[in-house]
Structure 1
Amino acid sequence: MSEEVNPDFKVKSIGKGSFAVVKIYEGRPMAFKEVLNHDEIEKLHAEYQMLKDVYTNCNTDSFFRLTRPLAYYRPLAEHHAELFQPLPPSLGASIRKHFYPANAPATTPNPSLCRIYFGKEVAPSRFVNSSNFQLDFARYTALYNEDQAAHDDDKHYLPSPNEIAHGMGQMIARIHFKGTGYTAQDVEFVIGSEGFSAVSLFVIDFNQVRPNLMKTWDKKVDAVPDLVRVHFLNDPYFPFARESNPLFHEFETGYLSVTEANNPVGKEFLAELKKKQTEKDAAAGK
Structure 2
Amino acid sequence: MNYAEHPYIKITRAGSRITADIVPAFKINDASEMASAVDRTPLHNAFVNSNLNDREKDQVRVLKYFLQQHYIYGAEARIGGFSGYLCELLVYHFGDFSSVVNYFAESKLPIVLDYNKGREKEKRESIAKEFNSRFVVVDPTDRNRNVAAAVSLESLARMAVASRNLISNPNKNGFYRKGYSDEDAVGWILRLRDSFGLDLHTISVTTESISEDTLWPQLSRLKRNLLARIKTAGFEVFLSAQGLSGKRAVISIITERCAHGAELRRGPSVFDGSNAHTFYKSHKGSVIIIDGERLHAIKIC
What TM-score do you get using the length of structure 2 for normalisation? 0.26
Bigger CA radius of gyration: 2
Greater strand share, 1 or 2? 2
Using CA pairs below 8 Å that are at least 6 residues apart, which structure has the higher relative contact order?
A: 1
